[in-house]
Amino acid sequence: MAEALLSVRDLVKHFPAAGDWFAQIFDRRVVRAVDGISFEIERGTTLGLVGESGSGKTTTGRIIVRLIEPTGGEVVFDGIDLLKLKGRALKAMRKRIQMIFQDPASSLNPRKTVGQIVAEPLRVHGMVRGRALEERLVHTLELAGLSARFLNRYPHELSGGQRQRVGIARALAVGPEFIVCDEPVTALDVSIQAQILNLLMDLQEELSLTYLFIAHDLSVVRHVSDRVAVMYLGKIVEIWDVDAIFSAPKHPYTRALLAAVPRPDPEAPPRKVLHGEIPSPIDPPPGCRFHPRCGRFLGEICREREPSLVTVDGGVRVACHLYRQGA
């Protein structure tokens, strides 16, 4: 493998199941949002993180940028453990790691103009002032596909695609190396999605960016990613190169996700539908967490033993008892 810019090791995040502190005294259960995951992202590449809603994707991204504190594990960025940073060291690192949020309507301050929104991270970090600030704002907006005429507009005056471009410009303003993209096109019209995806890919090439791209739409992930990590109920069940995972998926859950992708061919054979909903992360199934919904259930071993990620043919890492038994 090439140099890993980001390494996540045994990351865990458990939330209290009950809401307020008083209720937590009587309800000690936890929501196992992220339950021991590990992956690496090579410099200049994109890792797509996919899975159903509730699988822990967004929580993972927010931990990496330190919006949420983890229960355990390590997040090593360029040789530095991010989870050990505090104060000025953490503030300095935030210039290198940024995030693009899912809903541009709720992630932008409605009381501030576009110029104020994009300038805020620059002022927080004391990077530029005066005329240099204005020039930096115009350049950053142009990188995101907007012109200087948007500087004095408010978010409610913009379309959904334009608001997301502002969110992208805000992330780019401080010159980051790594960006967590949390479903950045989910809230947009299909016609706009391709424009934003192409913009992100162009920016990656131009600025040598590294992405963690969180999504549930596999067609989107295939378009932008170099490698894909499939997540289910707080666990990563498969990691592989994007072309290989789409042509020959190993884990039954990955196969089910791919089978659910709409196909334009009316003569295509019927798809195998994934039945049931993702179980509660408060009380996940024992053993393999996917076994209640798995079409290749092996019995006692799946019900009682939790599979770990193992490397099988072609370099794919998969957590499934099918491959431990050589099937």
Residue 217 placed within a domain: yes
CATH of residue 38: 3.40.50.300
Measured CA to CA, the distance from residue 277 to residue 254 in angstroms comes to 15
CA angle centred on 162, ends 158 and 167, rounded to 5°: 110
Asked if 170 and 118 touch (Cβ cutoff 8 Å), the reply is: yes
Question: Left, alpha or beta for 267 (phi > 0: left; psi -120 to 50: alpha)?
Answer: alpha
Segment 71-87 mean pLDDT:
95
Judged by phi (left if over 0) then psi (alpha if -120 to 50, else beta), residue 51 lies in left
- pLDDT at residue 2 in the model: 63
Q: For residue 191, what is the enclosing H or E element?
A: helix 190-207
Burial class (CB in 10 A: 0-12, 13-18, 19+), 164: buried
> How many folded domains does the chain comprise?
1
**Helices and strands, number each (H, E), in the chain:** 13, 12
**Residue at 207 is within a domain:** yes
- Classify residue 152: in a domain, yes or no: no
Which of 224, 267, 222, 269 is CA-nearest to residue 244? 222
16-30, 225-239, 297-311 — which is least confidently predicted?
A: 16-30
- Mean pLDDT, the chain, rounded, equals 90
Residues spanned by the domain of 294: 4-96+176-324
pTM, entire model:
0.92
Domain membership of residue 274 (yes or no) is yes
Give the pLDDT mean for 178-200.
92
pLDDT value at residue 234: 95
Spatial distance between the Cα atoms of 237 and 130, rounded to a whole number of angstroms: 50
Residue predicted with more confidence, 158 or 315: 158
Query: In this structure, what token pair is assigned to residue 262?
Result: 């709409």
pLDDT at 42 over 50: yes
Q: What pLDDT sits at residue 260? A: 77
Coil, helix or strand at residue 90: helix
Q: How many residues does the chain have?
A: 327
Type of residue numbered 59: T
Burial class (CB in 10 A: 0-12, 13-18, 19+), 133: middle
The more confidently predicted of residues 283 and 261 is: 283
Higher pLDDT, 25 or 55: 55
Average pLDDT over residues 49-70: 94
Evaluate whether residue 171 is within a structural domain.
no
Which distant-in-sequence residues (6+ apart) come within 8 Å of 91 by Cβ? 125
Residue 76 has pLDDT above 70, yes or no: yes
Residue 320 lies in a domain: yes
Q: For 197-218, what is each residue's pLDDT tens digit?
A: 999 999 999 999 999 999 988 8
Query: Is 166 part of any domain?
Result: no
On whether the CB atoms of residues 9 and 81 are closer than 8 A, the answer is: no
Residue type, 116: Q
Measured CA to CA, the distance from residue 127 to residue 225 in angstroms comes to 32
pLDDT at 313: 79
Least confident of 67-76, 228-237, 266-275: 266-275
Look at residue 25 and tell me whether its pLDDT is greater than 60. yes
The answer on pLDDT for 327 being more than 50 is no
Q: Is residue 120 part of a domain?
A: no
Both tokens of 306, joined, read: 């939790």
Tell me: the pLDDT tens digits for 216-252? 888 889 999 999 999 999 999 999 999 999 999 999 9
